[in-house]
Each structure stands twice: as structure tokens, then as C-alpha cells.
Amino acid sequence: MDKIQMKTPLVEMDGDEMTRILWQMIKDELLLPYIDLKTEYYDLGLEHRNETDDQVTVDSANATLKYGVAVKCATITPNAARMDEYKLKEMWKSPNGTIRAILDGTVFRAPILVKGIRPYVSNWTKPITLARHAYGDVYKNTEIRAEGPGKAELVFTAADGTEIRKTIQEFDGPGIIQGIHNTDKSITSFAKACFEYALSTKQDLWFSTKDTISKTYDHRFKDIFADLYETEYKEKFEAAGIEYFYTLIDDAVARVIRSEGGFIWACKNYDGDVMSDMVATAYGDLSMMTSVLVSPKGVYEYEAAHGTVQRHYYKHLKGEKTSTNSIATIFAWTGALKKRGELDGIAELSDFAEKLEKACIKTIEDGKMTKSLSLISDCKDPVILDSEGFIKAIKETLETLL
Ligand code: NAP
Ligand code: MG
């Protein structure tokens, strides 16, 4: 079989620990034998980020703006322990945060569903994609501990010097105060990313806030979504046969649980943080969650939702066998390859990526899986494979589909 040719390179962002090991195996076993793989390689492994003073992360994000599609391996976000472990010059920022800031994107997370692994919510038969607004609110707050009685005020000084001043609370004893903000610009680009992604995946879009209580703040989110929908997306949604639906966050939570899935749920920053953990857990396993960063500039970055699986990596270093699930990382590659195929008009590339996804699902449905999947699978006698064995089993299934 001739290898599939590519036109534009994918931006390849390599990463850390166990996922870096899986990354190489996936390329060697599942991609390079079939595709004349074109990538522009950036090593986001922590050692190389440290050597380049994290310039490599910035470069990889800029390359994504240039080419349009990136695939990223999980990376370490340094903390105090990592400072010692990797002898870091600085506690470098989270690569995902840096990339997101440059691409100005929204992250969409969706579970990969397979038969035999049933969501805890039994009526969820289709994936729920969660979109989290990743800017502002409580994540960029200013807080004060009031040690005793006093007056808390909210003050806005406009560029021309005029002032708006409101009393938050007259304290008669100790308390706490918090100031948060968001910007029309950030909310608009979040809304755009959501509408665009709904169109490109042909799924309904739900959005929820607490506008009944937060009549200015949350209401602004609701209005921006509604205006954008009316002016730019209504006709496109109708043509695609999909719906935009706004409801209160508490109503949304109840409806989500009763639903069968198959839609995108857009959430404010905090709601998205909390609800994405709930949705991921309810579908079964973090190692089966995909993640794509969609930028209003029309660029895409695909990755797994899980981290570098540090505990497995230390076992691997000791020469012990690991049973790490590579599915979400493989789906990061297939997501990127499908998008590249779509943008460059290479049907074989998208086709191959589809088949590789099918091979992943079929392998698990045939009873061959990693340890953590076997614990939540209905399969009577699952064959539990190690990290490499699982990728080889997927390759065998793939060969039967090609
Ligand atoms: P993690 O890598 O997601 O792993 C947490 C635990 O979940 C693992 O110990 C393992 O459980 C299970 N798990 C996750 N992915 C799995 C897989 N593919 N196959 C099998 N089991 C899997 O989170 P972490 O240990 O908290 O973080 C490790 C590093 O990843 C940190 O340095 C963090 O900064 C980084 N991180 C990166 C990203 C990213 O780049 N997007 C996201 C999150 C975290 P058992 O050990 O019980 O088997
Ligand atoms: Mg969280």
C-alpha cells in the first residue's frame, strides 16, 4: 500500500513522561507505516522548555497560527517538586495556558464512547461536549479579607476620569470581599468558538448562566451569545438543522442529566471547571476524554484531556510493565489528521483517521483493553494488555479495516 501523502504539516507538540513514551509508539506503530507524515516538530518536554526559557512553547503556538492544526502530547505543569526534579531555572507556566493565551481559544472536551463501558448516567447514549470559557471570573479575582467592621465599595474609574461607585456591603464584623471581571471581547470570542464548533460538528449548542441573580454580569454573557446568534449564526444553524438553546445553569444541570447527550454545553469558567469533572467522571474514565482548543482565528489544537500519567512513568523507568491507555492520545492525532485532511481536501487522510478511531473502539469492544478500562467494562473476560500490547492490538484491528 502506498503511503498517504500530506500537503501541509501538522504542528507536533511533544510532551512529557508516560504520554511521551506513548507518543512515539503511536507514531511508530499506527501512523508512520501508513502516512507520509509531515509535521513541524516542537519538543515541549520540560527539559527542552527549560533549555529554551519556554520559547519553544511560544514558537509552537505561533506555528499553529501559521499552519492551522496542531496535535499536542500531555505536558508537565511545573510545581515546587518539579523545580527540583528537573533543576528548572524558573517555575515555567502551564504550556496549555501559554498556548491558549496566544490562540485565544476555547477548549471543547468530549468522551469517547465504546460499548461495554456504560456511563453512570444510563440514558447518556451520545457524547456531551463541554466548552469552558477559559478567561476571567473567579480565576482572575482580587480578594480582600476584611478583619473587622468597615465598608466595601465597587469603584470603576473610566478613562475620562468619571467614576461609578457602589456599596457592596457595610460590614459590622469580619468578612470577605471578592472582585471579578470579564471582557466583551473575551466573551464574544468564546461565543464565536462555540457557534463555529457546533456548526462544524453539527451538534446543538446549549449555554447556561445565572442571569436571574447576576443581572448585569451574567446577563451580559447571555446577551452577547443571543446577539451573535441573531446576527451571524441563526441562518447557518437552521440550514444545518441544529439549535441554539439558552437556559439557567440549574435548569441546564437537570436537563443534562435527563438528556441522551449529543450536544455541546457551553459553560462559564467556574461552571465549566466543575461540570467538566462531573461529565468526564460520569462517562467512565478520564483516559477516554478528548480535548480540542478551537480559536476564533480558525485554528485547532488537539490533545488528550488527561495528564502525563506520572505514576505509570515511574514504573516504566523502573523497568516494570505499565498498562496505560493511549486512546485519548490516539484520538488527538486522528482529530488533527481529519481536520488537516478536511482543510487540504485529502479524503484518504480523513478516511484513514476515521478507520484508526474505529480500530480503537473495536479493539476495546472485542475485549482487548488496558487495566483501568477493564475495571469499568462489562466485558466478561477482558484481555488486559500492557501499554505497548494495547497499541499493537489496535494495529492488528486497523489492518483488518484498511
Ligand atoms: P494524570 O496524568 O491525568 O493522571 C492521574 C491518574 O489518572 C493516573 O495516575 C492514572 O491513575 C489515571 N490516568 C490518567 N490517564 C491515564 C491513562 N491514559 N491510562 C491509564 N490511567 C490514566 O494527572 P496527574 O498525575 O495529576 O498529573 C501528572 C502530570 O500531568 C502533572 O505534572 C500535570 O501538570 C500534568 N497534566 C498535564 C495536562 C495536559 O498537558 N493537558 C493535563 C493534566 C495534568 P492510576 O495511577 O490510578 O492508574
Ligand atoms: Mg477542575
In a 3-state reduction of DSSP, which class is residue 255? helix
Label the pairing between strands 300-304 and 289-294: antiparallel
| Residue whose CB lies within 8 A of the most ligand 1 atoms, among 306, 315, 326, 375, for a mutation test | 306
Rounded distance between C-alpha atoms, residue 201 and residue 89, angstroms: 42
Q: Is 8 in the pocket of ligand 1 (CB under 6 A)?
A: no
Pick the closest to residue 352 from 10, 35, 28 (CA basis). Answer: 35
Looking from the CA of residue 72, the nearest atom of ligand 1 is 40
Residues of the chain with confidence (pLDDT) below 50: none
* pLDDT value for 356: 98
Label the pairing between strands 368-369 and 69-72: unpaired
The pTM for the full model equals 0.90
Rounded distance between C-alpha atoms, residue 11 and residue 53, angstroms: 20
CB atoms within 10 A of CB 234: 13
Residue nearest atom 21 of ligand 1, based on CA coordinates: 324
Pick the closest to residue 78 from 90, 70, 67 (CA basis). Answer: 90
* pLDDT value for 273: 86
* pLDDT value for 160: 97
Rounded distance between C-alpha atoms, residue 322 and residue 312, angstroms: 6
| Residue whose CB lies within 8 A of the most ligand 1 atoms, among 291, 309, 310, for a mutation test | 309
* pLDDT value for 100: 87
Residue that has been written with the C-alpha cell 441546564 in this structure: 252
* pLDDT value for 207: 98
Tens-digit pLDDT profile for residues 258-305: 999 999 999 999 999 899 889 988 988 888 999 999 988 889 999 999
* Four-residue CA torsion sign, 252, 256, 260, 264: positive
Q: Is 324 in the pocket of ligand 1 (CB under 6 A)?
A: yes
Spacing, Cα 208 to ligand 1 middle (Å): 29
CA 167 to chain CA mean position, Å: 39
* pLDDT value for 285: 81
Residue nearest atom 45 of ligand 1, based on CA coordinates: 311
- Catalogue all structural domains in the chain, each as residue range(s) with its CATH number: 1-110+290-402 (3.40.718.10), 118-141+182-283 (3.40.718.10), 142-179 (no CATH)
* pLDDT value for 243: 97
Rounded distance between C-alpha atoms, residue 134 and residue 102, angstroms: 13
* pLDDT value for 296: 82
* pLDDT value for 118: 85
Looking from the CA of residue 325, the nearest atom of ligand 1 is 19
**E strand or H helix at 398, and its extent?**
helix 387-401
Q: Is 57 in the pocket of ligand 1 (CB under 6 A)?
A: no
Half-sphere exposure of 89 (CA within 13 A, CB side): 8
Tens-digit pLDDT profile for residues 304-341: 999 999 999 999 999 999 999 999 999 999 999 999 99
Spacing, Cα 306 to ligand 1 middle (Å): 5
**E strand or H helix at 70, and its extent?**
strand 69-72
